[in-house]
Amino acid sequence: MSGAGNYELHIYDVATAHDSILATSPMVTAEPQSQNSYFHPSLTKNGYVVAYVLNNQLVVQATHTFGVFPLVSAADGITNVVISGNGNLVYAVTGSDRLLRADVTSGAVTELSAAVPRIQIVSGALVPGARVDLSVSGAPASASDPAILSDAGAAPIIAKSSAAVTFQIPWKAAAGSAVKLFVPGNPSEFEEDDDNPLQGAVPQFYTLPVSDSVNPPYALAAHQDFSALVTDQNPSKIGEFIHLYFTGLGVVAPAIATGVAAPIGPLYRLVTPFSCWFLQASGVLPADILFAGLAPLFIGVEQVDMQIPSGLTATHPTFGCLSNNQGDPQFVQIPVHP
């Protein structure tokens, strides 16, 4: 790096001890820096030609001259390059992990491997019976929806939107086993390592959408008579039973088929121990839970009925829950009128 804060690519002649600057690039603080400032140079065997990345372009240059030959640019950026030993071919990796081959003489570029689809868990938990929302980036429009495969078979799709595909993890999938997230018919020769361990229970609150940055978010909760949601304008009251909604609380009894909405009766109760508490300046107040199990008429959604404790004085207490007293709790706020 130069005194001006620029990144510099140098060529050093061992025989003459001559040091020359081949290229400079301004320092970039935003990620991914590797696409902008680090060059990733690659030399031919004789050291006469170098390939490197400059301003998201693949550049080929003779080391004894200062003429820059931009060979390849890509909308998704160039992240790494390798030049062949005699300098006739250059291989480049793009920001979406496409693999390109460029002929230095003709400039012809061939895509050897398509973009690698990136799968992201938008919400939910990898838990038997839980709902999981997946999104995919980098896949062509013709690619299939993402998929989840467990030791109990494929997870069914239970909902779709423009932003995500919603699955339910099979109830019979075994905790501790691996679940694979993938894109069927992936056009790339590569794929992300998306084998994940299945957890026994990982409580995931459903929360209210808010326009401001609220941390922690407001819980999605209904009043005791289900007449309205619990909000700032319509807070819960001391002594009231409210209904909160989760996914990822684990196995229930009696058993229920995957992809089936819970009926209104009988009640499907949690098997894994589940506890919640309120946090306020005066200390911790345990929640009095009346029921924890599947929410009637929903697929893979749990309902937790609990009472607002009498010792609560905060108007927006922090509320947290754990399954089996393990893991890191997720927190929400619940508006309360003391």
**Segment 172-213, tens digit of pLDDT:** 999 999 999 988 877 776 666 678 999 999 999 999 987 677
Decide which of 58, 83, 113 is a domain's last residue: 113
- The CATH number of whichever domain residue 269 belongs to comes to 2.60.40.10
**Whether residue 297 sits in one domain with residue 236:** yes
Whether residues 241 and 273 fall in one domain = yes
For residues 321 and 215, membership in a common domain is answered with: yes
CATH of the domain at 123: 2.60.40
Residue 202 backbone dihedrals phi, psi, to 5 degrees = -140, 95
CA atoms within 13 A on the CB side of 63: 20
Flag whether 300 is in a domain: yes
Q: How far apart are CA 202 and CA 184, in angstroms?
A: 27
**Is residue 162 situated within a structural domain?**
yes
How confident is the model at residue 79, as a pLDDT? 83
Q: Residue 300 is part of which domain span?
A: 204-337
Same domain as 177, residue 239: no
Q: Of 77, 128, 68, 120, nearest to 98 (Cα)?
A: 77
In a domain, 229, yes or no: yes
Least Cα distance to 322 among 330, 314, 310, 312 occurs for: 330
> Same domain, yes or no, for 226 and 298?
yes
β-bridge partners, 212: none
My answer on whether 104 and 217 are in the same domain is no
What pLDDT does residue 185 have?
77
Mean pLDDT by 10 residues, the chain (338 residues): 67 81 69 58 86 83 70 80 89 85 88 83 95 85 82 96 94 95 78 82 92 84 96 95 97 97 94 94 91 97 96 92 90 93
Q: Specify whether 217 is located in the same domain as 282.
A: yes
Rounded distance, CA 271 to CA 142, Å? Answer: 42
Which tokens go with 330?
């997720």
Per-residue pLDDT, 34: 45
Do 310 and 285 share a structural domain? yes
Is the pTM above the cut of 0.85?
no
Contact status, residue 285 vs residue 277, Cβ threshold 8 Å: yes
59, 87, 113 — which closes off a domain?
113
Query: H or E element: which one contains 288?
Result: strand 288-294
Do β-strands 269-270 and 302-307 pair in parallel, antiparallel, or remain unpaired? unpaired
Residues 218 and 311 in one domain: yes
What pLDDT sits at residue 189?
Answer: 66
Residue 1 lies in a domain: no
Domain count, the chain: 3
Of the three residues 131, 162, 197, the one that is the final residue of a domain is 197
Across 84-184, the runs of DSSP E, i.e. the strands, are 89-94, 99-103, 109-113, 118-124, 131-137, 147-150, 153-154, 157-160, 165-168, 178-182
Does residue 164 lie in a domain region?
yes
> Is 83 inside a domain boundary?
yes
321: enclosing H helix or E strand: strand 318-323
The answer on 192 and 271 residing in a single domain is no
- Domain co-membership, 322 together with 270: yes
